[in-house]
């Protein structure tokens, strides 16, 4: 399997990843966590785990997800607050039917919710 490197600001180093990864979700998708009570909008995707080692080790070993899967950056919300989350693919479920997400940064990155997902604002796409 061919691999390439990319720089991760969260990890502060180069990360080796496969050239092709099968991401189940896309930027703009609304998802929810399988175990914890929060949902969010995907705004970035890492092909493999690309956060700090300290962050990874802080997850209890019995529930620590595999590194070799996509990880998603979310504009997340729960009943109490809005924040940015970093979640493995194995811990996410599609939740577009749950309606829009209420996060103060959404309008900076996305157009209005279209009933299923969010579209990136023009000028932010490649």
| pLDDT average, residue stretch 46-62 | 93
| pLDDT average, residue stretch 81-93 | 97
pLDDT in tens, 59-84: 999 989 999 999 999 999 998 999 99
pLDDT at 11: 74
What tokens appear for 50 in the block? Answer: 């690309």
* pLDDT, the chain, mean: 91
pLDDT at 89: 98
The reported pTM is 0.88
Give the residue carrying structure tokens 């996410």: 92
Which residues does 73 contact at the CB level (< 8 Å), separation at least 6? 42, 43, 44, 45, 46, 84, 85, 86
3-state secondary structure at position 95: coil
Q: What is the dihedral of CA 60, 80, 41, 36, to 10 degrees?
A: 30
Residue spans of alpha helices (H) in the chain: 53-57, 106-109
Of the candidate CATH numbers 3.30.365.10, 2.40.50.140, 3.40.50.2000, 2.30.30.390, the domain formed by 3-109 belongs to 2.30.30.390
Domain boundaries, the chain: 3-109
The residue ranges of DSSP E strands in 1-126, in sequence order, are 3-8, 13-18, 30-33, 39-46, 71-77, 82-88, 92-94
Which residues does 86 contact at the CB level (< 8 Å), separation at least 6? 10, 51, 55, 71, 72, 73, 74
Cα distance between residue 10 and residue 47, in whole Å: 14
């Amino acid at each position: 399997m061919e691999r390439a490197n990319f720089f991760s600001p969260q990890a502060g180093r180069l990360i080796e990843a496969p050239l092709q990864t099968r991401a189940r979700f896309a930027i703009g998708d609304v998802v929810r966590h399988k175990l914890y009570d929060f949902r969010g909008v995907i705004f970035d995707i890492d092909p493999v785990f690309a956060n700090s080692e300290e962050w990874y080790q802080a997850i209890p070993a019995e529930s620590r997800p595999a590194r070799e899967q996509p990880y998603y950056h979310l504009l997340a919300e729960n009943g109490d607050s809005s924040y940015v989350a970093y979640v493995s693919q194995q811990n996410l479920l599609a939740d577009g039917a749950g309606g829009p997400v209420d996060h103060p940064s959404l309008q900076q990155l996305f157009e209005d919710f279209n009933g299923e997902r969010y579209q990136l604002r023009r000028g932010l796409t490649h």
